[in-house]
């Protein structure tokens, strides 16, 4: 597969369409040195981005939490995303919007005088976990913990917050796993490296309380689906020792969509009827 710098198509940058290979930034870009960037991952189905406005609003909110402002309204961002799909002749695609502090007068921790830039790209991307949608993903348990909201802006989808996620996923892949589950700073079950997590037992669903990690758009969608099915959902703190008693497990996220989990460390789960129903229902919903 070619590198992502070698793909064909157009990328929207700062209000203009540029050729994919010409979408470049200077080496002194503040975000490269200090992770002053926020982003969104979105999927388009049948030519329409699922929950596009929610993603655009969250991008702007993430920037505010990171002490800068995206220089485009949500309406303008939505229009730019649609224009990228049109320019790339794509109907089913992954869409990445990113805003960052660029090159300016500052090159240090402070960057208040540097301009904020933004780009949107789209590309073809299949199942995030490959064939795990059929047999269930295998997860490692990360040694890294999601930090306290007193130490990071945990409600922001910010580039720097994924550093420990990258390291956790690399360690998991080295063990033959698809991903890793992370605990939080208190020792409660938190999430995977780029997806929220759900468990099922005795006809009810349990999911970690999103009080120190991102409350995902797909997570909220799936909770709504479960409630529509009259299935009780417990958003709560989950202790590690509870993993042994859960019957089913799945991950949710824009990239992950709804992916069954078959194993977390030494704990095993069945890819049961509820998991399959939610996965199928989500697929129908996003293509409706």
DSSP string covering 264-285, please? Answer: ETTEE----HHHHHHHHHHHHH
User: 212-246 pLDDT, tens per residue?
Assistant: 999 999 999 999 999 999 999 999 999 999 999 99
Can you give the three-state secondary structure of 145-180, one letter per residue? EECCCCCCCCCCCEHHHHHHHHHHHHHHHHCCCCEE
Position 135 scores a pLDDT of 81
Average pLDDT of the residues of the chain: 96
Is 157 considered catalytic here?
yes
Position 129 scores a pLDDT of 72
Tell me the domains of the chain and their CATH numbers: 4-123 (3.30.470.10), 132-286 (3.20.10.10)
What per-residue string of b and e applies to 168-197 under the rule 16 or more CB within 10 Å gives b?
bbebbeeeebbbbbbbbeeebbbbbbbbbb
Percentage, residues of the chain above pLDDT 70: 98
User: Is the pTM here over 0.85, yes or no?
Assistant: yes
Q: Looking at the predicted structure, is the pLDDT value of residue 42 above 90?
A: yes
Position 240 scores a pLDDT of 97
Average pLDDT of the residues in 31-54: 97
Average pLDDT of the residues in 134-160: 95
Predicted confidence band at 133 (pLDDT cuts at 50, 70, 90)? low
Residues near 285 by Cβ (< 8 Å), separated by ≥ 6? 221, 225
Q: How far apart are CA 109 and CA 254, in angstroms?
A: 32
Of 157, 201, 220, 232, which is the active-site residue? 157
Percentage, residues of the chain above pLDDT 90: 95
Average pLDDT of the residues in 45-50: 96
Predicted confidence band at 132 (pLDDT cuts at 50, 70, 90)? low
Q: How far apart are CA 198 and CA 174, in angstroms?
A: 24
Position 125 scores a pLDDT of 85
């Amino acid at each position: 597969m070619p590198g992502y710098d070698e793909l064909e198509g157009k990328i929207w940058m700062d209000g203009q369409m540029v050729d994919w290979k010409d979408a470049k930034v200077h080496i002194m870009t503040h975000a490269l040195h200090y992770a002053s960037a926020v982003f969104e991952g979105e999927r388009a189905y049948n030519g329409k981005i699922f929950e596009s406005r929610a993603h655009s609003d969250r991008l702007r909110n993430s920037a505010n939490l990171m002490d800068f402002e995206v220089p485009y309204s949500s309406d303008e961002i939505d229009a730019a995303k649609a224009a990228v799909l049109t320019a790339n002749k794509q109907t089913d695609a992954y869409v990445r919007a990113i805003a960052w502090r660029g090159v300016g007068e500052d090159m240090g921790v402070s960057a208040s005088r540097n301009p904020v830039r933004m780009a949107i790209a789209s590309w073809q991307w299949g199942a995030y976990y490959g064939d795990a949608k059929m047999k269930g993903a295998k997860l490692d348990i990360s040694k890294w913990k999601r930090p306290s909201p007193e130490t990071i802006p945990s409600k922001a989808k910010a580039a720097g917050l994924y550093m420990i996620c990258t390291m956790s996923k690399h360690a998991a892949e080295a063990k033959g796993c698809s991903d890793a589950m992370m605990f939080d700073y208190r020792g409660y079950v938190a999430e995977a490296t780029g997806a929220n997590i759900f468990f099922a037992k005795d006809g009810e669903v349990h999911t970690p309380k999103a009080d120190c990690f991102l409350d995902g758009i797909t997570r909220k969608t799936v909770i709504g689906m479960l409630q529509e099915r009259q299935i009780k959902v417990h958003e709560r703190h989950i202790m590690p020792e509870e993993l042994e008693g859960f019957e089913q497990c799945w991950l949710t996220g824009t990239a992950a969509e709804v992916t069954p989990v078959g194993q977390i460390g030494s704990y095993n789960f069945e890819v049961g009827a509820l998991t399959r129903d939610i996965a199928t229902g989500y697929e129908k919903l996003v293509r409706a």
